[in-house]
Each structure stands twice: as structure tokens, then as C-alpha cells.
Amino acid sequence: MPFSFEILKTQGRARAGILHTPHGPIPTPVFAPVGTQATVKAVPPRDLHEMGASLILANTYHLHLRPGDELVRAMGGLHSFMAWPGPILTDSGGFQVFSLAEINKIDDQGVTFRSHLDGSQHRLTPERSMEIQEHLGADIIMCFDECPPPTNRLMVERAVARTSAWAARCRETHPDDDLQALFGIVQGGIFADLRADSAAFLRGLDFPGYAVGGLAVGETKSEQYATLDITLPMLPDDKPRYLMGVGEPDDLAQGIARGVDIFDCVIPTRLARHGSAMTHTGRINMRNLAHASDKSPVEAGCTCYCCMNFSRAYIRHLVKAEEILGAYLLSVHNIHFLIQHVNAMRDAILDGDLQMYSDSFLQTYLQTA
């Protein structure tokens, strides 16, 4: 089978494993940089490969609107189109429909919305989401879901009912996981009973992987962690678990300790475009005057291209001058930082030292972040 998941070692609820896909293995836990428009902003695939990225994410909603999923299919699919030979994951488009578009109508069949680009009207249903993602050709694809505000119980109840019904339709439309593995998405906000209902229904559809959606969208960190404590044990032990849209370094440590295998987030490149760098002692604002004549790298000991070649003074100059190279170098650093952080936790699980690593990291990071 082209898709399989093996767990090499566990420590507590944390797992180190390998997710095998048609485009190569993904060592887990893994952080996936986000390439919304079939590009990780400012970072070429060559650099992602050199940094050790083993999975990237692309966005169904955006690529359907521009350049069009039919065009991507005609160009050989995302792997060929964006010259990335490794595994790719596409989301369903649901989150973007509910957060970006002007929605005209939500019903049990799907969503009618207007594009945020030109106002043109579109219809997205579970079946259409599957068709678009099949055209894009990613290795891992996601069920169409509704992502509500996590603390509004009435909205969450409706979203769980729709997400379950839509998941069944996605599964019926895409029953074969040989070429593309379809993951179900557990919704339920911060409410334990709704999470339980959602997880139980999705388990019955026997997906090759399961995602936890609807977090990092308005709840507190303590609510996020408590929800993970409740939800992850409800999912099959032998399937990969994906926490959608989470990428803060402390959240990665907390999620891995609770049994999350896959993460994605736009935060490393977004911070870079605003002149911020991730480090073990928290974020650094590279615009600050303190860096104006600093010959040291962004972070001592970092082996990324940025830190191995350039000073804080130079990075600050680029950021202040709004030179594109500044965003590129900080993006490289931030992505490298998160990949290395997750890799270190994977190694710690394999060595039986995860608690020591996590405690040390969180103590330093949270005291200075």
C-alpha cells in the first residue's frame, strides 16, 4: 500500500513514527510549511529541501480561484506545477470559505460564496471539494468541514452536524486512498461532548488519518491544550493525527507531548514579512535599534543559511529598507527553526528524553517570549 503509518517509539502519549506516501516518507512528528498559493512565500523548493522539510501544505480555496484546479491538473498536478517532489497536503477550502469569502448561503448541501478576488460567485460542496483536491493531486487531502468560533456552543453544534454529514459524503465520493489519503476533521470547539460526538462518527468512516480542526481560532492556550487532552485519546492509535493551523513553538511542544503527529502554520513566513525572527528565547523584532551594529547572527548556533552568513545588523538593514531579501532570509530562518525544533522532539522521543527536552525548551522560551 502506498500509504501506511508506522509508530517507531512512544513516550507517554507522544509518538515518533513514519508516514509513508507515494511521494516519499514523512518522519513524524512533522511541521509542514504552508504554501497557500502553491508556494511557501519567498522560499524556493530547493531551500525547503535543504532545510529538511518533508511535507508542505497548499490551499484548495485559493488554488481553485487562481489559477484554477483544472489548469493545475493540466500542468501535471501540484508536484509538477510547483516543482516540489515531496509529499503535499491540501486542505478542503472550508476554513477559507468561512473566513475570507463573502458568504451568500450556507445550507446542508454546501456553501455559496463570492470570491475575495473579484466577487465572482462559486459553490463549494463536499463533492466539489473532493473533485478540486483530486485535480490538484496532493498526497493527503481533507474532508470539507465547517469551522465555527470555538466557544459559541450553538454554532459549534450546527457545525459538528454538518461536518459529520459532509465527511460521509466526502468518503462516498473518495472511497479509495491508494493515490490520495483522505483525512477526516474532528470539530466540536472547546466542548468535550461535541468533540466526542464528532470523533466517534468519523472513526466509523475509517479514514487513514484524522485531523483536529477548529483550534487556534480564538480560544485560549489552556482551552486548546485541554481540548487536545480530551480529543486525541478518542482517535485511533494506529492512524496519524494532524493539528490544523498550529505552529507556535510552545504549542508544538505541548501538542507533541499529547500525541499530535502533523502540524502546519503560516506563522514562520508571516512573522518574517513583519521583520520578526523565532529563537529559543522568544521572538526578536529585527527592526529594533539594538541590532543596528550587531555582528552576531539572528540566533547563535543556528545552522540555517541566514544565520550562517549574515549579521543581525544586515538583516535589520534589509527589513528597514523593505528589501525582499530580508523577508526571504527571515523566512528561511523561521522555517528552519520550527523544523529543527520538531526534529529535536522526535529525536528526544526516540531517545526517551522528551520530557527533559520539552521542560528545558519551555522554561527558556516561555520566560523570555
Q: Which residues are catalytic?
A: 91, 264
Phi, psi of 121 (to 5 degrees): -90, 140
Cα–Cα distances in angstroms (integers) from residue 12 to residues 9, 72, 97, 266, 353, in the given order: 10, 42, 37, 29, 11
Q: Measuring CA to CA, which residue among 75, 181, 53 is closest to residue 136? A: 75
Given the C-alpha cell 548556533, which residue does it identify?
Answer: 301
Measured CA angle at 235 (ends 174, 108), to 5 deg: 45
- The DSSP element (H or E) to which 210 belongs, if any, is strand 209-212
Residues 345 and 59 sit within 8 Å (Cβ to Cβ): no
Question: Distance between CA 30 and CA 206 in Å, rounded?
Answer: 23
Helix 192-203 and helix 153-173, axial crossing angle in degrees, nearest 10: 10
| Nearby residues of 319 by Cβ (< 8 Å), 6 or more positions away | 275, 286, 287, 326, 330
Question: Distance between CA 89 and CA 71 in Å, rounded?
Answer: 18
Q: Measuring CA to CA, which residue among 12, 23, 69, 19 is closest to residue 348? A: 12
